[in-house]
Structure 1
Amino acid sequence: MNSQHFLLISCTGQGHINPTLQLAIRLIHGGARVTFATTVHGLKQIKKFPSLEGLSYASFSDGFDDGNKPIGDPQHIMSEFKRVGSHKKKKKKNRHCRERERERERNQTSMNSQHFLLISCTGQGHINPTLQLAIRLIHGGARVTFATTVHGLKQIKKFPSLEGLSYASFSDGFDDGNKPIGDPQHIMSEFKRVGSQTLTNLIVKLSNDEHHKVTFLVYTILLPWAADVARDMGIPSAFLSIQSTAALAIYQKYFNTHDGLYHIYENSPPNSIQFKGLPPFASSDLPSFLLPTSPHNSVIPTIQEHIQTLEKDPNPCVLLNTFDALEEAAIEAIVNLNLIPIGPLVPSTFFDTKDQFALGVMGFGLVCT
């Protein structure tokens, strides 16, 4: 995918442009370069463009660049669209285009030197999106090691096989999978104590190869201590939020050290929580472990640690399993964090294909190679 340049063209209607732009974003996440094009007049009407590295915009003429089309003669309009739109006009690459290409080449070289360590808990809902991120990073030219617990790694029956993707494990203190029943706080405490040490050992081991040192750590929910390990070892890190962005907004509102609500509602949940641009969240809408009666409230200290760990980071980075248009209000509700929407992290056979495309021209559901 790294060598591919897709040209996506669409008519000017919102129902045409929106899905085409979403496809463009997915292709970018898959490591490709994309140019989105619509008519001259249509491009002028787009008020806000998605801004992504590798995504550029262009236009072509439909014969009516001022937007004034003859009334009552749709056949003439379509005929002109075909005639003018099909016209070939060679242009020399301008200086701006050449600079963008050189910048992309530099970024690609930079990605080739990166070794990402992605760690997650053992649940399928944790592993699947983390592996999808691993695949995207591989397509972007990076090297990736995916790691989960010793017992968890043994439970994975089929691993994605990609060049540059390797697997490893760290201990949670219960390598045989037998955890004490009825003492979840002890389990989480051991996970942090043993996990911190074995993750440190894993990073040291992976970095023994001078050419493949771990350069970035990505950790998922329930593993906030991983950020401390990364910081102690001088490695930048990011929290991969695999839940909805609204859930993260609630966690921050509850557990931030400035004006968090948890100490107020620890024993009695609020009637509702409000965020600008979102409907009120009733107590029944909150993540269930926040309720005093929940049997799972033992994870509260860990979620609280997540938020406060991010607060300690001078440049806290959070990768969101969503995209702007899907949860715009929830994204805006989160403050003081560097939020990067990269979702949806779902499997795609399209991105996994090894077929080579010289140029993909996509419009109106048609794929031409």
Structure 2
Amino acid sequence: MSPPRPHFLVLTFPLQGHIAPALRLARRLLAVAPDVLVTFSTTKAAHSRMFPSNGEQGGDHRAEEEDDGRLELLPFSDGTDSWEGTKDGYAGGGGDDVEAFNAYVASFHAVGPRSVGELVDALAARGRPVTRVVYTLMLPWAADVARRRGVPSALYWIQPVVVFAIYHHYFHGYADVIAEHHRRGDPSLLVELPGMAPLAVRDLPTFLTESTDPANYFHTVFLTFRDLFDTLDKETNSKATILVNSCKELEVSAVTTVGKKHDVLPVGPVLPTGDETSIFKQDADAKYMEWLDTKPENSVVYVSFGSLATMGKEQLHELLLGLEEIRRPYLLVVRKDNKAMLAEAEAEMGPKNGILVEWCDQVRVLSHAAVGCFVTHCGWNSVAESMASGVPMVGVPKVSEQGTNARLVEREWRTGVGAGVDNGGVLHAGELRRCVEEVMGDGTSAAEVRRMAEVWKRVVAEAMGNGGSSYCNLVAFVDGARSTA
């Protein structure tokens, strides 16, 4: 009997920022190895939003297939399986209700392992056994599900290697050091971690500073990261395998540092190869693309703070004021949650020089020749997409690892600048104008930012191309899985 074909089960948390890189990786696996099979799985709620033909809210979640059946899209249960009352892409995840969020995460961790285990068993029963489980950040239990069935697993780290290194040091002896620096209340204080350049407290992931407090909204996320690193430490027979959505060239020293403990394989930045499936409403007409076609090269300011960002009235007012004063064309993404404020702002002040949309295909926008600057929250997907497109950035980080990413953009890669905000986290019009001028203006510093953006664009393209570092790492990972299938 011939051995089973390599079959990767790719599992992810039901947030768009997790789904996108995980589904991109699934399709990338198919692209580099024509003999492999892949099953992509997120929760039933997210699955039904992505593939509404399967029925809404608890309907028939039958398999979707792509690439002649080599890629299957099958959901697992998180114990809720409904989009009722959701806002941000997961059941129970809307608003500021800490108890509701905690209840959802508890359900996800309790029901998810059972459901994924049943999925693995069902695939084996119909002759499609899983030979390697790949899971993203919020699923530490996925490794245990795989281990109990004798299946190897790998973590897909969807943030930079530098961020992984920070978390690793925190959970291996540096928690008190970071806590003490944060307690002193000065965000500019420098923290020194082994093998890394000093980092200011403001540059550290907020889950390791603010979210360690049990009263914090994201405390359960902090606990999940703690469990994740405990899970990696259980790999006692060999180094844990960590796939990273970055490339070696972007993070040479961090890869070396983390590689002493784990088998680190940078395989990115993994970008979509065509139209991308999203849990958010998509505009098939894409009139914003037609609008971009009418604008000169490198003239448009693109502004988006990510799929989770909500915007207060003051912030929206300051953004529109600053964008109009810049007197450059702009494309501003404002989630539909802000419709009432948006209508009020539009009635008061325009817009005159730009357009506002609820959603856009970000990769297509960043790839358009008219776009000259990206004002971003610095989520890693957005940073990676901007780097791959050679678009300079203005960083306005808010939560999670976004501050770390913004520091990398400004200090390490020199492809953008960081924007200052007030004590309430609001980016004011004058600061927005200053930062946009720093990357789009006629000065030498702006020219250097644009030059470095082009340099890193070529580096990322080479890493992802045939024979590049990320391509070879992914091929090596598949070959390793093939040998153990």
TM range (shorter): 0.5 to 0.7
| Alpha-carbon distance between aligned partners in 2 of 1:173 and 1:249, rounded to the nearest angstrom | 33
Of Structure 1 and Structure 2, which has the larger fraction of its residues in helix? 2
Identity, in percent, stands at: 32
Give the conservation status (yes or no) of the 8 Å contact 1:267–1:292. no
Measure the CA separation in 1 of the matches of 2:195 and 2:133: 33
Q: Any idea what the Cα deviations from partners look like across 1:312-344, whole Å, max 9, x if unmatched?
A: 113311001111111111112213111111111
Root mean square deviation of aligned Cα: 2.7
Equivalent in 169, 172, 182 of residue 269 of structure 1 = 182
Instruction: Measure the CA separation in 2 of the matches of 1:208 and 1:194.
Output: 21
> Where does 1:1-369 land on structure 2 (aligned, <5 Å)?
113-139=5-31, 140=33, 141-157=35-51, 161-163=66-68, 164-177=70-83, 178-179=91-92, 181-183=97-99, 184-210=101-127, 212-256=128-172, 259=173, 261-266=174-179, 269=182, 271-275=189-193, 278-292=196-210, 295-314=217-236, 315=238, 316-334=240-258, 335-348=260-273
Q: Secondary structure at the match of 2:138?
A: coil
- The separation in 1 between residues aligned to 2:66 and 2:220, in whole angstroms, is 36
- Contact 1:275 1:333 (8 Å CA) reproduced: no
Instruction: Please say which structure displays the higher CA radius of gyration.
Output: 1
Shift in Å at residue 187 of structure 1?
2.3
3-state SS of 2:41 partner: strand
Shift of 1:286: 0.7
Deviation at 1:232, TM superposition (A): 0.9
- Helix, strand or coil at the partner of 1:339: strand
Q: CA deviation at 1:145?
A: 0.5
- Cα distance in 1 for partners of 2:231, 2:195 equals 27
SS where residue 155 of structure 2 aligns?
strand
CA distance in 1 between counterparts of 2:144 and 2:166 reads 23
Q: Deviations over 1:84-125 (max 9, x none)?
A: xxxxxxxxxxxxxxxxxxxxxxxxx98x81111001111121
Work out the CA distance in 2 between the residues paired with 1:174 and 1:266: 35
User: 5+ unaligned residues in a row in structure 1: which ranges?
Assistant: 1-108, 350-360, 363-369
Q: Which deviates further from its counterpart, 264-273 or 132-141?
A: 264-273
Q: Is the 8 A contact 2:98 2:217 kept in 1?
A: no
Q: Which residue type is aligned with residue 261 of structure 2?
A: N
What is the distance in 2 between the residues matched to 1:254 and 1:296? 17
Distance 2:169 2:203 in 1: 15
TM-score scaled by length of structure 2 = 0.46
Look up the SS of the partner of 1:169 in the other structure.
coil
CA-CA distance at 1:234 after TM superposition: 0.7
Structure 2 regions of 5+ residues with no counterpart?
53-63, 84-90, 184-188, 275-465, 468-485
Please say if residues 195 and 253 of structure 2, whose CA atoms lie closer than 8 Å, have aligned partners that are also in contact: yes
TM-score by length of 1: 0.59
SS in 2 for 1:325: helix
1:208 CA displacement: 0.6
Q: CA deviation at 1:152?
A: 0.8
Please say if residues 238 and 317 of structure 1, whose CA atoms lie closer than 8 Å, have aligned partners that are also in contact. Answer: yes
SS in 1 for 2:75: strand
Partner residue of 1:104?
A: none
3-state SS of 2:154 partner = strand
